[in-house]
C-alpha cells in the first residue's frame, strides 16, 4: 500500500504504524455525567466496517507526523490522506 | 453410535472387495426448514463443532448450521494448523487445555481421520529474561494440568540441529516445549465435525447467508437469510472475521477489529522439521505438513482488512524470520500464500457469551489462535446455548469484561488489536 503523504508525497506503508480508527481523536469529556460509558465505548468498541474506514497512521520511519488515512478495507485502496493536526485544528476553529 | 457408514480400515477393505458401491456423501445437502430450536450462523470450525456437540453432548435434535459460502472456506481452512495449550493466564489456560484434551480423543469421537499429530511445539527463547518468562509460563501450564518442558541450548540442538545457532544478535538459548502440542489437518476438522453433526440430524445448509435478525421485544426469534426467514428458539453466531458485520445487523458494536493474517507453503520436501518451531525474537512459526510442504507464517498485516489477502511487506518480514532461524529453508520455493480475516479482540482473548438480546448468543474474538480452540469452543458454546450457563472453562470469556476492566491480556499490550 502506498500512502500519499500530504507533505512528503507517496510513501510505502511500511514506514508507518497504524493506531486504529480515527474516532480515537474524539476523546470523550472526562467530566461529563456519562464519562464512564463514553470512555468504555471510546476505548473498546469499534465500528470495524467492511468498506471505507478513517484511521490514524503514524509516520514513524519518516517525519513523525500523524495522518488520517481514509482507506477501503475490502480493496485496500487508499482514498484520502490528511494531516491529523490539520483536521484537529480545523475542528477547533469551528 | 455405530452404523454401516462408519469409516474404518475394515470398511475400506469391504468396499474395495465390493466395487466401492457403498460410499455415501459425507453429509446431506438439505433445504432449510421453517424453524429450528437452534440456528448456528457460520459453518467454520467453531460453528460446526457447536452443532456437533449440541447434538452429541446435549441431545438437541433440531439444529441447523447456516453458512454463506461453503463449509471450510473460511479460517478453518486457511490456518497453519497449530494446536497447543501454552497460555499463561487463568482465564485462558484451563480452556485451551480442555481443548487439547478434546483433540486427543476427537478422531475416535467423530469417526474421522483429522490427522491429529502431537509432534511437539518448540517456543525458542533468546535472552535470560525471555527464558524466565517461558519458565513462568511453563509452570502456569503445569499448574493447570498441561505438560511443559524447558530445554537448554544443548537439548534444543539435539532435537533441532538444523536451527542457526550462530545467531549473534539473538542467540538460541533453549526452548519451552509442549510435547502434546502439534498440528491437525484443518479441512478434515471441518469435514469431520460436519459429518458427525449431520449423522446426528443437524442440517448443514451452505450458500445461505444470514442478512439480518428478527428481533421482537428484545428477543431474537430467527434470522433473515438469502434463502428466506428461518425461525429459531436460539441463535448462535460464530462467524470469526465477519463478527462485526453480522452482529451489526442486530444493532451491536463489538470490541473487535478485523485484520488479515497470511500463511505460506513451500514445495514438498522430505521430512526435515520434526515439530512446530517458533522464533522468539521475531514473529515466525513453521511446521511441515504430512505432504512435505513447509507451512509457515508470522505477524498479521497490522491494518484493518476484510480482503482475505495481504501485502508484500509481511511476506518479506516472515521470510526474513525464517532465514534467520533456519537458513536452510532459503533453498525451498514458496508455492502458495493466502490470507484469512481475523476477529482481533481488544485484549487478544475470545468471547463466548450471551448478548443483550434474548435468544442471541455470540462466539468470536479468536484472533489468530482460534483453530486450536475449535473443540472446546464448540463444546462451551453448545453448553451455553443448551443450558444458558457458561461452561466452567469459559467463564472468563464474557462480553462485559471490557466494561468491568477484567481483561485477559496475555501480552499486556492493551486495547490495540493489531498488537495482540
Ligand atoms: C493464515 C492463518 C493462520 C492461522 N493459524 C492458526 C494456528 O496455527 N493455530 C490456531 O489455533 N489458529 C490459527 N488461525 C486462526 C483460526 O484459523 C481461526 O481463529 C478460526 O478458524 C476461526 O473460527 P472458525 O473456524 O469458526 O472461522 P471460519 O472458518 O472463518 O468460519 C466462519 C464462517 O462464517 C461464515 N459467515 C460469515 N458471515 C456469514 C453470514 N452472514 N451468514 C452465514 N455465514 C457467514 C464464513 O463464510 C465462514 O465460513 C489462523 C488463521 C489464519 C487466517
Instruction: Categorise residue B267: left if φ over 0, alpha if ψ from -120 to 50, beta otherwise.
Output: beta
Asked whether B371 lines ligand 1 (CB < 6 A), one says yes
Ligand 1 atom index nearest CA of B66: 43
Count CA atoms closer than 13 A to B101's CA, side-chain side: 13
Q: What digits encode the pLDDT tens for the residues A39-50?
A: 999 999 999 999
Contacts of B306 in chain A (CB under 8 A): 50, 73-74
pLDDT score for A93: 57
What the block records as the C-alpha cell of B33 is 426448514
Residue B120, C-beta contacts closer than 8 angstroms, at least 6 positions apart: B177, B178, B179, B181, B182, B274, B275, B276
Q: What digits encode the pLDDT tens for the residues B15-50?
A: 999 999 999 999 999 999 999 999 999 999 999 999
Instruction: Specify which residues B293 forms β-bridges with.
Output: B268
SS3 B298: strand
**Could you count the other beta carbons within 10 Å of the beta carbon of residue B147?**
16
Q: How much is the average pLDDT of B180-206? A: 98
How many Å apart are CA B74 and CA B398, to the nearest integer? Answer: 24
Evaluate if residue B201 carries a pLDDT over 80. Answer: yes
What the block records as the C-alpha cell of B164 is 542457526
Q: How far is CA A61 from CA A25, B90, B157, B374, in A?
A: 22, 38, 37, 39
How many Å apart are CA B263 and CA A42, to the nearest integer? Answer: 32
Contacts of B304 in chain A (CB under 8 A): 18, 20-21, 48, 53, 55, 71, 73
How many Å apart are CA B396 and CA B359, to the nearest integer? Answer: 20
SS3 B272: coil
Ligand 1 atom index nearest CA of B238: 26
Q: What digits encode the pLDDT tens for the residues B273-326?
A: 999 999 999 999 999 999 999 999 999 999 999 999 999 999 999 999 999 999
Asked whether B377 lines ligand 1 (CB < 6 A), one says no
SS3 B378: helix
Cα dihedral sign for B142, B145, B146, B149? positive
pLDDT score for B4: 84
- Name the residue among B257, B302, B403 with its Cβ closest to that of A46: B257
How far off is chain A from B242, nearest CA to CA, in Å? 9
Count CA atoms closer than 13 A to B215's CA, side-chain side: 17
How many Å apart are CA B189 and CA B81, to the nearest integer? Answer: 10
How many Å apart are CA B408 and CA B393, to the nearest integer? Answer: 14
Number of A/B CB contacts below 8 angstroms equals 70
Instruction: Specify which residues B266 forms β-bridges with.
Output: B334
How many Å apart are CA B400 and CA A27, to the nearest integer? Answer: 21
How many Å apart are CA B108 and CA B231, to the nearest integer? Answer: 34
Judged by a CB distance cut-off of 8 A, whether residue B419 touches chain A is no
Ligand 1 atom index nearest CA of B84: 11
pLDDT score for B3: 83
Identify the structural domains of chain B with CATH numbers, from first to last.
Answer: 26-85+87-112+186-256+347-419 (3.50.50.60), 121-182+258-345 (3.30.9.10)
Residue A37, C-beta contacts closer than 8 angstroms, at least 6 positions apart: none
Write down the residue that cell numbers 462467524 correspond to. B239
**Alpha-helical runs (H) found in B66-185:** 93-110, 128-143, 153-159
Torsion angle, alpha carbons of B342, B343, B349, B350, to 10: -120
State the DSSP H helix or E strand holding residue B71, giving kind and residue range, or none if neither.
Answer: none
pLDDT score for B125: 98
Contacts of B420 in chain A (CB under 8 A): none
Q: What digits encode the pLDDT tens for the residues B206-235?
A: 999 999 999 999 999 999 999 999 999 999
Evaluate if residue B269 carries a pLDDT over 60. Answer: yes
Spacing of C-alpha B114 from chain mean position: 14
Identify the structural domains of chain A with CATH numbers, from first to last.
Answer: 2-26+43-88 (3.30.2270.10)
**Could you count the other beta carbons within 10 Å of the beta carbon of residue A69?**
24
Instruction: Specify which residues B216 forms β-bridges with.
Output: B219
Chain A, 25 to 64: residues with Cβ < 8 Å from chain B are 40-41, 43-50, 53, 55
* B360-364/B228-237 β-pairing: parallel
Write down the residue that cell numbers 510435547 correspond to. B179
Evaluate if residue A2 carries a pLDDT over 90. Answer: yes
Percent of chain B residues past pLDDT 90, beyond the cut: 99
How many Å apart are CA B318 and CA B295, to the nearest integer? Answer: 12
How far off is chain A from B78, nearest CA to CA, in Å? 18
Contacts of A47 in chain B (CB under 8 A): 244, 248, 253
pLDDT score for B1: 67
Give, rounded to a whole angstrom, the gap between the first and last alpha carbons of chain B: 42
Q: What digits encode the pLDDT tens for the residues B324-335?
A: 999 999 999 999
Average pLDDT value for chain B: 97
pLDDT score for A92: 64
How many Å apart are CA B373 and CA B46, to the nearest integer? Answer: 8
Say yes or no: ipTM exceeds 0.90. Answer: yes
Asked whether B378 lines ligand 1 (CB < 6 A), one says no
Ligand 1 atom index nearest CA of B190: 25
Residue of B nearest to A54 (CA): B304
**Could you count the other beta carbons within 10 Å of the beta carbon of residue B396?**
19
Q: What digits encode the pLDDT tens for the residues B246-263?
A: 999 999 999 999 999 999
How many Å apart are CA B192 and CA B106, to the nearest integer? Answer: 9
Q: What digits encode the pLDDT tens for the residues A50-82?
A: 999 999 999 999 999 999 999 999 999 999 999
How many Å apart are CA A77 and CA A56, to the nearest integer? Answer: 15
How many Å apart are CA B348 and CA B131, to the nearest integer? Answer: 23
Amino acid at each position: 500500500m502506498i500512502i500519499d503523504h500530504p507533505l512528503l508525497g507517496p510513501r510505502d506503508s511500511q514506514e508507518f504504524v497504524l493506531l486504529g480508527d480515527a474516532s480515537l481523536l474524539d476523546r470523550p469529556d472526562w467530566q461529563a455525567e456519562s464519562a464512564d460509558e463514553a470512555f468504555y465505548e471510546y476505548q473498546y468498541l469499534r465500528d470495524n466496517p467492511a468498506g471505507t474506514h478513517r484511521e490514524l497512521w503514524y509516520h514513524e520511519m519518516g517525519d513523525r507526523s500523524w495522518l488520517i488515512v481514509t482507506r477501503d478495507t475490502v480493496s485496500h485502496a487508499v482514498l484520502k490522506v490528511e494531516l491529523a493536526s490539520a483536521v484537529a485544528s480545523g475542528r477547533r476553529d469551528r | 453410535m455405530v452404523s454401516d457408514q462408519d469409516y474404518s480400515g475394515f470398511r475400506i477393505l469391504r468396499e474395495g472387495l465390493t466395487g466401492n458401491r457403498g460410499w455415501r456423501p459425507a453429509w446431506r445437502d438439505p433445504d432449510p426448514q421453517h424453524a429450528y430450536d437452534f440456528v448456528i450462523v457460520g459453518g467454520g470450525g467453531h460453528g460446526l463443532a457447536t452443532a456437533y456437540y449440541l447434538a452429541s453432548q446435549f441431545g438437541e435434535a433440531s439444529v441447523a448450521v447456516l453458512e454463506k459460502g461453503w463449509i471450510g472456506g473460511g479460517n478453518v481452512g486457511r490456518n497453519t494448523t497449530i494446536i497447543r495449550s501454552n497460555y499463561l493466564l487463568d482465564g485462558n489456560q484451563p480452556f485451551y487445555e480442555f481443548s487439547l484434551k478434546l483433540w486427543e480423543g476427537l478422531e475416535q469421537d467423530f469417526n474421522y481421520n483429522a490427522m491429529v499429530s502431537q509432534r511437539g511445539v518448540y517456543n525458542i527463547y533468546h535472552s535470560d529474561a525471555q527464558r524466565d518468562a517461558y519458565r513462568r509460563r511453563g509452570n502456569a501450564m503445569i499448574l493447570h494440568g498441561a505438560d511443559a518442558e524447558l530445554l537448554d541450548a544443548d537439548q534444543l540442538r539435539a532435537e533441532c540441529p538444523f536451527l542457526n545457532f550462530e545467531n549473534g544478535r539473538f542467540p538460541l538459548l533453549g526452548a519451552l516445549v509442549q510435547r502434546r502440542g502439534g498440528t491437525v489437518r484443518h479441512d478434515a476438522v471441518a469435514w469431520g465435525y460436519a459429518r458427525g453433526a449431520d449423522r446426528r440430524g443437524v442440517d448443514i445448509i451452505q450458500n445461505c447467508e444470514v442478512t439480518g435478525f428478527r428481533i421482537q421485544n428484545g428477543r431474537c426469534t430467527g434470522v433473515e437469510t438469502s434463502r428466506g426467514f428461518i425461525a429459531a428458539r436460539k441463535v448462535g453466531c460464530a462467524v470469526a472475521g465477519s463478527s462485526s458485520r453480522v452482529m451489526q445487523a442486530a444493532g451491536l458494536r463489538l470490541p473487535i477489529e478485523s485484520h488479515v493474517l497470511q500463511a505460506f507453503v513451500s514445495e514438498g520436501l522430505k521430512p526435515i522439521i520434526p515439530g512446530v518451531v517458533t522464533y522468539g525474537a521475531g514473529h515466525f512459526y513453521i511446521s511441515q505438513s504430512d505432504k512435505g510442504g513447509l507451512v509457515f507464517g508470522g505477524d498479521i498485516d497490522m491494518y484493518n482488512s476484510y480482503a482475505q489477502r495481504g501485502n508484500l511487506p509481511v511476506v518479506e518480514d516472515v521470510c526474513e524470520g525464517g532465514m534467520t532461524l533456519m537458513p536452510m529453508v532459503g533453498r525451498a520455493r514458496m508455492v502458495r500464500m493466502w490470507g484469512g480475516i481475523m476477529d482481533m479482540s481488544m485484549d487478544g482473548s475470545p468471547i463466548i457469551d450471551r448478548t443483550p438480546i434474548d435468544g442471541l448468543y455470540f462466539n468470536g474474538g479468536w484472533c489468530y489462535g482460534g483453530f486450536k480452540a475449535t473443540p472446546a469452543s464448540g463444546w462451551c458454546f453448545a453448553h451455553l446455548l443448551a443450558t444458558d450457563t457458561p461452561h466452567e472453562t469459559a467463564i472468563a470469556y464474557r462480553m462485559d469484561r471490557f466494561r468491568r476492566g477484567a481483561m485477559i491480556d496475555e501480552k499486556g499490550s492493551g486495547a490495540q488489536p493489531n498488537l495482540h
